[in-house]
Amino acid sequence: MSNMHRIHWFDQRIREGHYPSSKDIALQFEISRRQAQRDIEYLAVSLRAPLLYIAKHRGYCYEDKTYVLPHLYMTEEEKEVLKFLARKYGQFSSDQSSVQRVAHLLSRLTGEEKPETLNRLPVFDANPRLIQYSGQLSFAISHRRIVHIHYRHEAEESRLDICPVQLVSKYNADYVAAYSTDGSRQQLFRLDSIVSLHMTAHVFDATEEPEGTYEQPGLPAIKPFTARLKLITGLQGNTWNGYPARPAGELLYDIEFYDADSFMQQLLHETWRRLDSPKWLKVKLQARCEQVLRCLNAEEEPSCPT
């Protein structure tokens, strides 16, 4: 949960005359007292709140009652951009206090509680397919979904089902740490070596912790495409198979995606009622389906889609 959500709650309690403290935040949101105190420090220092501790009430009030919280609204896309920067910069270490403060601020703005460190501002290539895989795998990790991948690395090629447990940044490359469905030892799979990926409906048991300490990648800063899709049943959350989804009508959802081929692969593995837009995606999907039909009718030799 974002620290701004907790700060708004703390602000409301002050205005209601309850003299809230770090203990109250910790109990309300089930976090540590130390973490709660950092929220209060952020409110006082970064948001310039005129906080005054009242010993008699063992809590805080505003010395200036006219103070109002600044309007801080951030879209999910903007938040993912900051998460990406905080994670990437966090791969580096530095003694530069100013840079560490920037990394800390990025983490705080996105609701991440662990400050990051770095020693330079690198430039990163935002590959649409890697962006898509990161989002889908993040969903699979949190929902314990088995993912089917077509994996090509060095001269070897394989198709396998994996149980992803954590996204990893290692040597300036992105990986997913995963177990195979037979429970074998955890492996690292490079995201840029995944040819195709789709989410299955099967759930795995996360009985083992990932080996080592890894950081969770975010999503790079490029604008996603949006598909309007009518589903058979409504969604319970705000994602469809790892793709961010927003309600747009009765059983209609606007679904964001970065890589068209990966998204079409998912469409071919799922049941849905209608694809309304974009037109170019409908044309591309129709061409793919027609190619499959030609292959089934023996009208076309090799190179049929897989």
pLDDT tens, residue by residue, 265-285: 889 888 999 999 999 999 989
Distances in Å between the Cα of 173 and the Cα atoms of 88, 118, 134, 180 are: 10, 16, 12, 21
Per-residue pLDDT at 147: 93
CA separation for the pair 191, 219 (Å, rounded): 13
> Residue 138's pLDDT is what?
85
Q: Show the low-confidence residues of the chain (pLDDT under 50).
A: 92-99, 114-123, 209-221
Ordered domains of the chain (ranges, CATH)? 3-62 (1.10.10), 76-109 (no CATH), 128-203 (2.30.30.100), 225-296 (no CATH)
What's the predicted TM-score (pTM) here? 0.42
Provide the pLDDT for residue 87: 59
String of DSSP letters for the chain: --HHHHHHHHHHHHHTT----HHHHHHHHT--HHHHHHHHHHHHHTS---EEEETTTTEEEESSTT---------HHHHHHHHHHHHHHTTS----HHHHHHHHHHHHHTT--S----SS-------HHHHHHHHHHHHHHHHTEEEEEEEEETTEEEEEEEEEEEEEEETTEEEEEEEETT----EEEEGGGEEEEEEEEEE----SPPSS--------SSPPEEEEEE-SS--SSSEETTEEEEEEETTEEEEEES-HHHHHHHHHHS--SEEEE-HHHHHHHHHHHHHHHHHHTT-S-S----
pLDDT at 301: 55
Residue type, 246: R
